[in-house]
Every structure is written in C-alpha cells, then in structure tokens.
Amino acid sequence: MNMLLNGIATLLTALSLALAMGATERPNILLIYADDIGYGDLSCYGGTGVQTPNVDALAKSGLKHLSGYSSSSTCTPSRYSLLTGQYAFRNEGAQILPGSAPLIIDVERPTIASVLKGAGYRTALVGKWHLGLGKADGSMDWNGTIGPGPLQLGFDKAFFLAATGDRVPSVFIDDDSILNLDPNDPISVSYEEMVGNEPTGISHPELLRVQADRQHSGTIVKGISRIGYMAGGESARFRDEDLSDRFLAEAIAFIEEEREEPFFLYFATHENHVPRMPHPRFQGASSLGPRGDAIAQFDWSVGKLVEVLKETDQYRDTLIIITSDNGPVLFDGYWDGAEQKNGDHQAAGPYRGGKYSVFEGGTRSPMIVHWPERVKPGESEAIVSQMDFLASLATLAGVDALPTNAGKDGQDVSEALLGKSDQGREYMVQQGMGSLAIRAGDWKYIPKGVVSDRGGIGEWIRHRVSEKGELYNLKNDPGETEDVRDQYPKKADELRKLLDQETGRTF
C-alpha cells in the first residue's frame, strides 16, 4: 500500500513539474519598444545623465545584449522590420510616414502578432504605431471606422497614436476609432494644406510652450505645434504630459485581464521622442532636461509593468524584452534644451552617429532580455536584430513553422536571444536615412554616398563616403574613427559583394 501511495505521489509530482514546465515553455511576451533612446542613454549601458533603476534591475538579473540592433536608424522602417521580419528597404513605402499615410504592411503578410495569435496568444498593441492606417487609395474616414490597421495585422486589442506626438492627428485611437470623439465636432487632417482656421506655430508663436522649427510649426494642440494640420476633435485631443500614464494604464489593464491564455503585449512607448513633455512628476528628474526626464519616465513605466506582473503572479512566466527603435537624437525640431543640458552624457555610448545615421550609433540599440529561471544573468556579444524577433519568438511560443509568406530576412536566433548560445546572425544590413551599410562579424562596410554622421546630436553633419567605400573593424575601433579600406581591400570588396547580394543592388 505504501509503495502504491509513494508511486502515486511520485506521479503527481512529475505531472505537477511537467505542467509547470509546460507553462514556462510558452511564456507571456512583453516587448517594450522605446523611441529614440540610445545605446548609452540607460545607466546600465553607462549613461550618466539619468538613472534608470528599474531597467537596470532587469539587466542585472537578465541578459544585456551588447550587439543588439534595430534594422534602421529611423522609426517607421525599424517598426516595419520588427513586426514583419523583412528589411524595410524591400518596401518602398517603409519611410518615415506622415500621420495620414495608408497602411504599409499588407494585411496578408504575417506579423509577430498574427503568428502568435495563431498559436493561441492574446495580442495587444499599446503606444506608438506609425505604420500607416487605411487603404492605399487614402480613402479612410477619421470620423468613422479606422482601418485597415493593427486589428487586421493580428492584434486583438490596440490603443495607439496613428504616428508620433509631433504629427497630427493628436488623438488616441482605441481599436478602430478615435477615443472621445464628438460626432458634432469631426476631425479633418491634412499634410498638404491647412485645414480649418486654428493657429499654427508660424502664425501664433506666442501660444507655444516650446518653440519649434518650421517643419514642426503646423497646428497648435495644447500649446505644442505639430507637423501637419488638423481641425476639429477638440474633446479627443490628448495632452502630451498624459501620454505615458494613459498608455501604461491600458497596458496594465490588458495584463490583468489576460491570466488564462499566454499574451503578447507590444508596448511601444513615446519616450523619448519629441515633443518631450514628461508628466510634472518627472520634470527635473535628470540633469538632461526634458530629454532625460522622459527617459526617467520610461524607466518608471517599466517598473510599474514589472510590479503588475508580480502582483498577478505572471512574472516568472513572462519573457520581457526592452529595446529601442533607433539611436538617439538631441535636437529634433523643438528647442527644449537637450543640446545645452547634455553635458558629458554619451547618448549613443561609445558609438558614432545617432538617429538617421548608418554609423553604429544609429542602429545599435540597448537590448535587455529577462525571463526568470530561463535566462541567466550576463552579457552577450551575439549579433541580434529586432528583425529576428518574429522567427525567434515564434520558436519560443512553440510554433512549428512560420507561414510561407513570412519575412525571410529575419532569423531564428532564439538561443542567442536567451543567452544559450554566443552565436547570433553572421551579418546584417543596416539602414540609415538614404543610405545602407553591412556588418559581418567584426567588420563594417559603408558604400559610397553621403551619409548622416552625428544624427542630430549637436551640429548636423553630412559625411561623404568616397567611391571606394569605407571599412571599419568594430572590435578594434567601435567608434568607427579609422577607415581601414586601403589596408584590407579584399575584405572591403567581400562585404561590398555581400551587400549587393543581400539588397539586389550594385554598390
């Protein structure tokens, strides 16, 4: 009898362990996607102007990637590649978009959301979208049902901005309609001509809370002038200081609701994109002015999400990834003191360039991966691109095979992502503003052309690359200061041919 009871107890224990392992094998996935936060902006990556204790805690108990990349140094292309697993340069429409642009992802193309939804995940987008909305003919009605958009690409829930805070329309979209829109006060949006008779940054600069350049001097909403023009929708307009709190509230609500099935939450923050208007709680939280204060606000949001995961008993079963869409930028249209208050802070870390640049500072991003008991603390030099997330997360979610029309540029680097292997991808194409480059191992090749150098960090500089191209050894020269093309012409030619092969172009 004792032997039987012992056998039953052993069997129950084994079943319990199997169930626990099974739950852990299909993790919740929280992808926290920052905006314009550079490699050196977080204190765990050496940032000095602002402290990020919540992100640092995840980095300390998780894996800090040192060669994590966005696919582009600007937002729309990076987001396109992240969701689709395809290089953005393969889609001519994947450029920085106006807020009125049509959807640039074919609804038949698999995305992270649609693949995980097909695997039984509940999926949500909260935050910045900037991939277009509506049909290609531009026939979308802002005052009616908005689409196609995130809901047609695999998201069960979506609460988002159409584009960026500095672009109209300055409203929240809840699933497929504008939140709090009064039908008696319809919205009009244009990027070609002025609509309505509301003041602009050009006509009424005295109404502005922060002065802006001409591009950002369209319609004034809540004291901030924007790119583009809008009229109407007064009750729906957001206040910039409330963006972070509102997005956080929506993310928390989704997490608290999804306790039965695994979830995928794409939390695309606005920090620290311009206009940088952090909540009054965070004003003065750093030595960097509004830019650093926005990073402190981002860190606080991360901490709140971790708290909720713990309170709902989902923390152990949640894979958290923190990364950014591109490198940093100081001045980007608004005179908010970012350059003057930057001091010795190195927003791109040891790397050259920043937002808009094909140099390392443009695409090398902070990337932290945390999964209790599954990711060992440490650092990784493996090359991992955000474009690899689709295939890698599908593997971790137990997806046997991706759809045949899924993006082919991304790779399954799940072992490297979790730190189980030090081998990531062998090479990848990097996209700057109007330029491309390629990294293979320790080597980086930039073909002929004119490229952005400092990416808006300080004085804008355009760097001219000669007919021969430029070659850098990133191991010996991470700051890309010494062109060694003449010393290693065969290596430069090898990478040039590889770039030709990958892009279908001739450099």
pLDDT over 80 (residue 282): yes
Same structural domain for residues 77 and 176? yes
For the chain, the first-to-last Cα distance in angstroms comes to 79
Least confident range from 246-250, 341-345, 453-457: namely: 453-457
Same structural domain for residues 74 and 151? yes
Q: How many domains does the chain have?
A: 2
What's the CATH code of the domain at 487? 3.30.1120.10
How high is the pLDDT of residue 7? Answer: 46
Asked whether residue 22 is domain-assigned, the answer is: no
Same structural domain for residues 371 and 409? yes
Residue 22 confidence class, pLDDT cut points 50, 70, 90: very low
Residue-wise pLDDT for 120-164, tens only, equals 999 999 999 999 999 998 888 999 999 999 999 999 999 999 999
Residues 6+ apart with CB under 8 A from 197: 231
Both structure tokens of 381: 């030099």
Domain boundary among 376, 396, 417: 417
pLDDT over 80 (residue 4): no
Asked whether residue 205 is domain-assigned, the answer is: no
Same structural domain for residues 496 and 457? yes
Same structural domain for residues 431 and 405? no
Bigger pLDDT: 138 or 349? 349
* Contact yes or no for 291/184 (Cβ under 8 A): no
How high is the pLDDT of residue 260? Answer: 86
Same structural domain for residues 262 and 120? yes
pLDDT over 70 (residue 23): no
How high is the pLDDT of residue 15? Answer: 39
Beta strand 63-65 with 224-225: parallel, antiparallel or unpaired? unpaired
- Exposed (0-12), middle (13-18) or buried (19+): which is 14, by Cβ within 10 Å? exposed
How high is the pLDDT of residue 139? Answer: 85
Same structural domain for residues 380 and 461? no
Asked whether residue 474 is domain-assigned, the answer is: yes
CA distance readout (Å), 291 to 38, 344, 498? 12, 14, 38
Percent of the chain with pLDDT over 70: 94
Q: HEC states along 177-228?
A: EECCCCCCCCCEEECCCCCCCCCECCCCHHHCCCCECHHHCCEEECCEECEC
Same structural domain for residues 405 and 495? no
Asked whether residue 206 is domain-assigned, the answer is: no
Q: What is the rounded distance in angstroms from the CA atom of residue 186 to the CA atom of residue 177?
A: 12
Averaged pLDDT of the chain: 94
Residue-wise pLDDT for 208-260, tens only, equals 999 999 999 999 999 999 999 999 999 999 999 999 999 999 999 999 998 88
Whole-structure pTM value: 0.94
Same structural domain for residues 327 and 470? no
Closest-CA residue to 28 (of 120, 100, 95, 98)? 120
Asked whether residue 221 is domain-assigned, the answer is: no
Asked whether residue 195 is domain-assigned, the answer is: no
Domain boundary among 399, 417, 435: 417
Residue-wise pLDDT for 287-318, tens only, equals 999 999 999 999 999 999 999 999 999 999 99
Same structural domain for residues 397 and 313? yes
Closest-CA residue to 496 (of 475, 452, 474, 465)? 465
What's the CATH code of the domain at 384? 3.40.720.10
Asked whether residue 484 is domain-assigned, the answer is: yes
Closest-CA residue to 409 (of 390, 424, 432, 383)? 390
Same structural domain for residues 336 and 285? yes
pLDDT over 70 (residue 11): no
Residue-wise pLDDT for 420-430, tens only, equals 999 999 999 99
How high is the pLDDT of residue 459? Answer: 61
Residue-wise pLDDT for 254-281, tens only, equals 999 988 899 999 999 999 999 999 999 9
CA distance readout (Å), 348 to 81, 312, 327, 368, 407? 21, 36, 7, 16, 29
Same structural domain for residues 390 and 409? yes
Domain boundary among 417, 450, 470: 417
* Contact yes or no for 98/191 (Cβ under 8 A): yes
Which residue carries 């970012």 as its tokens?
A: 338
Asked whether residue 174 is domain-assigned, the answer is: yes
- Domain containing 445 equals 427-503
Residue-wise pLDDT for 163-208, tens only, equals 999 999 999 999 999 999 999 999 999 999 999 999 999 999 999 9
